[in-house]
Amino acid sequence: MTGAGKISLALGGGAGLGWTHIGVLRAIDDSPLEIAAIAGTSIGAITGASYAVGKLDYLEDMARNVNFRNMLRFMDPHFKRGAVMGARNIEKELESEFGQTCFEDLPFPIAVVAADLHTGDTIVMKSGKLVPAIRASMSLPGLFKPVRHEGRLLVDGGAALPVPVSPVRELAPEALCLSVNLQDDFLNRSIAAGITPNSSKEPNSLAVVKASIGLSLRNLGRYSLALDPPDFAMSPPVGHIDIQNFTRAEELIDIGRRETEKVIPQILARLAERAA
């Protein structure tokens, strides 16, 4: 059976916070652990797929060099029905990175999670071409146009399953599962939004909206994990960084590595118990 003596990873969504996943994968690569399978939502899907095709170096280099100027090349404002941004430049970047690669070509199984905007179903993609699946998983509602794929209208997987534990368990049922939830650090997120208990000033409307969205994301992630608890759960302290900020890769990668290094001895101990 797939995954005996290995770990599987459930990489959650989180937009700009997703660079944390790079540090997670670097720490695992530097340890005795082996990856049996990966499931990813949104930025977790991009990072997991990049790792699986052997292009994590490329993704990390791009992440560390993101600034406002080179982010402009991915922007395709069009204000058409269903979205305020096109995705032609992002699609070109995905095609450049993944080409015609299919799930079946990868050295271990991965799954990419999206949400069906018509039915509300969680859609788990694990066969066929990678690019359409990743493009669907990262289609933030209202920002990017939904993707029509195999008869469904798909948006960002974070709307349905922000931390995809159950899909990765199906791929590697014997492996220990490690989840990475980027939405759990609500206290620091609310402070960063301007919501502080001792402030004499009333928060502005933008701060209220950002904190409320952060709370919803935190709770959705917790409910998701409560329904299918992983063997090990990580909630990196990244709430002080705006979820829309893609320019903090160096710090986020360091946090991901540091937090993973803390949990690796526990995973190895559990694996040793299994083997005894």
Catalytic residues: 42, 156
Buried b (16+ CB within 10 A) or exposed e, 102-131: ebeebebbbbbbbbbbeeeebbbbbeebbb
DSSP states along 123-175: EEE-SSBHHHHHHHHT--TEEE--EEETTEEEEEGGGT-SS-HHHHHHH-TTS
**Per-residue H/E/C for 21-51:** HHHHHHHHHCCCCCEEEEEEECHHHHHHHHH
What is the separation of C-alpha 212 from the centre of its chain, rounded to a whole number of angstroms?
Answer: 20
Question: What one-letter code names the amino acid at 13?
Answer: G
Bridge partner residues of 178 (DSSP): 9, 232
173: number of Cβ within 10 Å: 15
- Rounded distance, CA 189 to CA 219, Å? 13
Contact between 53 and 94 (Cβ < 8 Å): no
Provide φ and ψ at 177, rounded to 5°: -105, 130
Buried b (16+ CB within 10 A) or exposed e, 224-248: bbeebebbbbbbbebbebbbeebbb
